[in-house]
Chain A
């Protein structure tokens, strides 16, 4: 069974940094692209960032480009999202997701990022 267990959320001041982690199990982690998706309070779902299975290619939504960095450690079966220069509009629940057949086959439990002074 696929498990994606997230950690690292919390309260951060505007302009601050935070790193999210997503520990994967139950599948061949190094074979799959992984994404981060977020959901602002009471709102819909928004793609944030993507990384290829090898980690050699990374992509970002325009709203986070230059501020967020996605990475993965295939030896540890773990996905990361380093978030910097955080803004109020980055406040959301962040989900990691495994990509299969052109969509998100599995999701993490979500982690809340609160940006407030």
Chain B
């Protein structure tokens, strides 16, 4: 299985400051159709996960533009330009290029 490794696992951030989460995959994530299936999810306390980013850098509908994704190959990054209180939760990367789909361990974002 493809191993997804996130860092850091804990991320204290001051309101209004930027935040960045790294995700590394044990294999490249380019599928046979040429697309790179790397997703980012947010899980607020007590809620279901919600997808923020698909195919590395595409924001899902309704996702604020302060969230952005980048990367290629095996290294990917989720950035929040200015953290707001509602961003508290756990963030997961996930690959959908190889079977089975696999998730990173999660990064817990909290307000400093």
Which residues of A are interface residues toward B (Cβ below 8 A)?
35, 44-47, 50, 59, 61, 95, 99-105, 107-110
The answer, yes or no, to whether B49 is at the interface (CB within 8 Å) is yes
Among the 9-residue stretches B13-21, B73-81, B99-107, the one with 4 or more Cβ atoms under 8 Å from chain A is: B99-107
The interface residues of chain A lying within 8 Å CB-to-CB of B55 are: 101-102
Tell me whether A102 and B37 are in contact (CB under 8 A): yes
Tell me whether B51 and A104 are in contact (CB under 8 A): yes
Tell me whether B101 and A35 are in contact (CB under 8 A): yes
Report B25 CB to chain A, min CB distance, Å.
13
Partner of B51, one of A61, A105, A109: A105
The answer, yes or no, to whether B83 is at the interface (CB within 8 Å) is no
CB within 8 Å of A: which of B84-100?
A: 92, 94, 96-97, 99-100
Q: A44-B106, A61-B100 are in contact. List 9 more A-B contacts (CB 8 A).
A: A50-B100, A101-B35, A101-B55, A102-B35, A102-B55, A103-B39, A103-B51, A103-B94, A107-B49
By secondary structure, the B interface counts as loop
The interface residues of chain B lying within 8 Å CB-to-CB of A110 are: 48
The interface residues of chain B lying within 8 Å CB-to-CB of A105 are: 51, 54, 60
The residue on A at minimum CB distance from B54 is: A101
The 5 closest A-B pairs by CB, nearest first: A102-B37, A102-B96, A103-B39, A107-B48, A101-B54
14 of the cross-chain contacts (CB-CB < 8 Å) are A45-B41, A45-B49, A50-B100, A59-B100, A101-B54, A102-B31, A102-B39, A102-B96, A103-B37, A103-B39, A103-B54, A104-B39, A104-B94, A105-B51
The interface residues of chain B lying within 8 Å CB-to-CB of A104 are: 39, 41, 49, 51, 94
The answer, yes or no, to whether B82 is at the interface (CB within 8 Å) is no
Tell me whether A44 and B102 are in contact (CB under 8 A): no
